[in-house]
């Protein structure tokens, strides 16, 4: 797949030199305790769930890329490739679903902030028995957009499944060959404005 990173943007690991800083997202959902251990910030001192207060954080340009795979029968992938699925254009529909999911992430993940989405890119790759989806999300604000990228991937792949489920069912109506897997954040970046 092609790289979706714009030139001149450093990843968090490049900025800090620390893989832990990249994993923990620069303090968006976790923080370093006095003893150097990571503490959760989506809970208050009494252990109650809370939304993280990002009001004092500076606005930054942020980008997150997530990816995932749906495993399908080879004949189903061929039908997608040849636009022969009876429900319509699978990838075009999945692209719309992914973008819609990105824009509505704050409504489905309870502690997510509503953020201004400035750009969404989707990239599909067809293999012999798989469809890979990569979703890149960009925002300018006080918190990251990796949850939005993950929501885009999972919903986009769910839309693929919905579009091809008639072809994937076996004689008992089950899906023995169909599965979504390897959903992950591929890249997270932050740039001071």
Mean pLDDT of 23-28: 39
Whether 1 has a pLDDT exceeding 90, the answer reads no
Structural domains in the chain, CATH included, are: 54-192 (3.30.70.640)
User: Which is nearest to 80 in space by CA: 152, 155, 162, 170?
Assistant: 162
Closest C-alpha to 137, from 192, 68, 61, 193: 61
Catalytic residue IDs: 162
Instruction: Give the model's pLDDT for residue 55.
Output: 66
Would you mind telling me the total number of residues written for the chain in this entry?
193
User: Is the CB of residue 165 less than 8 Å from the CB of residue 175?
Assistant: yes
Q: Flag whether pLDDT at 83 surpasses 80.
A: yes
Residues 6+ apart with CB under 8 A from 37: none
Q: What is the pLDDT of residues 44-79, one digit of tens each?
A: 677 666 667 666 778 899 999 999 999 999 999 999
pLDDT for 13 equals 39
Question: Across residues 123-143, what is the average pLDDT?
Answer: 96
Q: What's the whole-number mean pLDDT along residues 11-28? A: 39
Q: How confident is the model at residue 26 (pLDDT cuts 50, 70, 90)?
A: very low
What b/e string do you get for 24-55 counting C-beta neighbours within 10 Å, with b at 16 or more? Answer: bbbebbbeeeeeeeeeebeeeeeeeeeebeee
Q: In what order do the strands lie in the sheet with 60-71?
A: 117-126, 130-141, 60-71, 179-192
Using the 8-state DSSP alphabet, how is residue 27 labeled?
G
pLDDT (tens digit per residue) in 87-106:
999 999 999 999 999 999 99
Tens of pLDDT, residues 148-193: 999 999 999 999 999 999 999 999 999 999 999 999 999 999 998 8
Which three-class secondary structure state does DSSP give residue 74?
Answer: helix
pLDDT band at 143 (very low <50, low <70, confident <90, very high): confident
The reported pLDDT for the residue numbered 134 is: 98
Region of 17 (left: φ > 0; alpha: ψ -120 to 50; beta: rest) is left
The per-residue pLDDT for 39 is 63
> How much is the mean pLDDT over the chain?
82
Q: What pTM did the predictor assign?
A: 0.76
């Amino acid at each position: 797949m092609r790289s979706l990173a714009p030139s001149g943007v450093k990843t968090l690991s490049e900025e800090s030199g620390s893989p832990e800083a990249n994993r923990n997202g620069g303090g968006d959902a976790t923080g370093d305790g006095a003893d150097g251990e990571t503490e959760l910030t989506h809970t208050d001192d009494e252990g109650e769930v809370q939304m993280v207060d990002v009001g004092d954080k500076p606005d930054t340009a942020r980008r997150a890329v997530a990816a995932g795979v749906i495993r399908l029968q080879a004949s189903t992938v061929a039908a997608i490739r040849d636009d022969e699925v009876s429900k319509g254009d699978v990838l075009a529909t999945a692209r719309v679903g992914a973008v819609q999911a990105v824009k509505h992430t704050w409504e489905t993940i309870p502690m997510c902030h509503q953020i201004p989405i400035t750009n969404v890119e989707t990239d599909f790759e067809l293999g012999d028995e798989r469809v890979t989806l990569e979703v890149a999300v960009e925002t300018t604000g006080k918190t990251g957009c990796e949850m939005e990228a993950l929501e885009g991937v999972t919903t986009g792949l769910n839309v693929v499944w919905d579009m091809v489920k008639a072809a994937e069912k076996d004689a008992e109506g089950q899906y023995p060959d169909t599965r979504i897997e390897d959903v992950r954040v591929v890249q997270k970046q932050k740039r001071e404005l």
